[in-house]
Structures are given as structure tokens and as C-alpha cells.
A = this chain, B = another copy of it.
Amino acid sequence: MKHLVISPILAPVHTPSRDDAVLLALVDFVTGEGLRPGDRLPTERVLAEHLKVSRTTVREALTRWQELGLVERRQGSGTYLKSAVTRNMLHVPLTLPSGNDFNSLMHTLEIRRGLEAEAAVLSAERASDEDIAFIEQKLIQMEEAFHARHGMSADEDWDFHLAVFRTSGNPLFEQIIAAMYEMFHRFWEHPLGVRDFGHASFPYHRTLFNAIAARDPVAARAEALKLIATVEDDLRRGAANLKKQNKKS
């Protein structure tokens, strides 16, 4: 018996698994209730009872949300919303190979080079006056921290870059570069033994800000590239030091 030719319009039947149904109901609940990040969700037992599914199923669904970073579970306390959730939200997990060798660290910088430059361009094109004031505030905080401790402060430095990404109007920049940043600082606070890592990048933060404030995309791109270039130089210098030490021993 031959199969009939079926119109290709017929797509695979959408068989929503039980977890998906739970998650969908939970989205509606969160939006309907107007829950915001930090708020507590109903307990697993309550959810299971109301949704007429077993607690195990609820747990599997929440485990998925946890893996996506949408929710955080604290034993003895409850389950808390970690990020805003709406129905039309696309989640794509990104898995990156990481390492602490010179090449892997340089790879993260190559990604940053492309993305930070692009983000600077977009920020210069789109930033509102309030956005620019916001970036300047972060810049000043970073500069104050720099003078106070005579060196780069990782937190304030990151806050400044974050401000630029946020004003680019594209949330993906922040998420991807945050991953690069984490890979870079995952193992060492002083990568490869360089103590004043990032020191040379300091002046370019202000020049980058000036370019963005002047709504000059070309200049913003150039300054962002200079900034990354100094970090790459630091990294190469650290690799050279490491090589020298190995030769001695």
C-alpha cells in the first residue's frame, strides 16, 4: 500500500508536552499577576495542585526555566523570578568551549573586538541624551575608582561597558559580551600573572564616551577598537612573561 501524497502544508502535529503546558500556564500567571524579577512564585506543591499535574512535572518544568536563567530556586525559601518573562520570548542556549590558555583568552577578545565596536557605533547613532548622561555617570564612577586605588576596578569598568551596550538598543550585545567577559575572568583575577591588567585601556574609556556623546559613530568605533587593542597587548605581554618564566624553570 503506497502512501498518498500529502500536501506539504501539513506540518507535524504540535504535541505540547506536559512541561510546555505547565510553562505556558506559568507565563500567563506571571504576566497576569504582574510579577517582576525578584518576586516569589507559588510553591511547587501549590502549582501542582492548581495545574492538576504531579509535583514532579512541575519540577521538570521549573528545572528548564532555571537552566535558562529565568528563575532561581532556593531550598527552604522558594522559587524566585530572575528575569522578565513574556509569551513571545525566544530562548537559544549558547554553548561555548572555554579554556584558560592564551589562545582561548585571545579568542574571547576577538569576539569582543567585533561586538564592542559594533555596539559603540549603534550607541553613537541611537543614544538619547538621558542615555549619554547615564554612560557619563558610569564613566565618572570608574575614573574615581581608578584614582582611588591607582588601577582598574573590574566592577566599575564592567558597569561602564554595560551602560554602552544597554544604550545600543540591542539586548544581545550585553548577553554575549557578558559571556565573553565571564570566560575571560573565570580563572584568574590577574590573567596570566599581569598585575595591572587593563591599565592601558583607562584613557580610552573617556575618548570612547566623547565619541558617543558627539554622536560620531566612526570615531566611536575607532576608540572602541583602540580600547580592545590595549587589552590584547596586555594579554600578549602576559603570555610572553609566562613563556619566559617557563624557560627559566
Q: Please give the residue numbers on chain A whose beta carbons come within 8 Å of chain B beta carbons, in ascending order.
A: 56, 59-60, 63-64, 66-70, 83-84, 86, 88-100, 104, 107-108, 110-111, 113-115, 117-119, 122, 170-173, 175-176, 178-180, 182-183, 186
Smallest CB gap from A91: residue in B: B95
B172 touches A94 (CB 8 A): yes
Contact A68/B95 with A111-B173, A171-B107 known, Cβ cut-off 8 Å: yes
Contact A94/B63 with A88-B100, A172-B107 known, Cβ cut-off 8 Å: no
A93 touches B93 (CB 8 A): yes
A70 touches B92 (CB 8 A): no
A97 touches B107 (CB 8 A): no
Chain B residues within an 8 Å CB radius of A170: 107, 110-111
Smallest CB gap from A122: residue in B: B110
What separation, in Å, do the CA atoms of A183 and B180 have in the docked complex? 20
What separation, in Å, do the CA atoms of A70 and B178 have in the docked complex? 22
Within the complex, the shortest CB–CB distance from A96 to chain B, in Å, comes to 5
Smallest CB gap from A69: residue in B: B93
Smallest CB gap from A64: residue in B: B67
What separation, in Å, do the CA atoms of A122 and B106 have in the docked complex? 12
Question: What are 30 A-B pairs at a CB distance below 8 A?
Answer: A63-B63, A67-B93, A69-B93, A86-B97, A90-B97, A90-B98, A90-B104, A91-B93, A91-B94, A91-B96, A92-B93, A92-B94, A92-B96, A92-B176, A92-B179, A92-B182, A94-B94, A94-B175, A96-B172, A97-B171, A97-B175, A107-B171, A110-B170, A110-B173, A111-B118, A111-B170, A111-B173, A114-B117, A114-B119, A172-B180
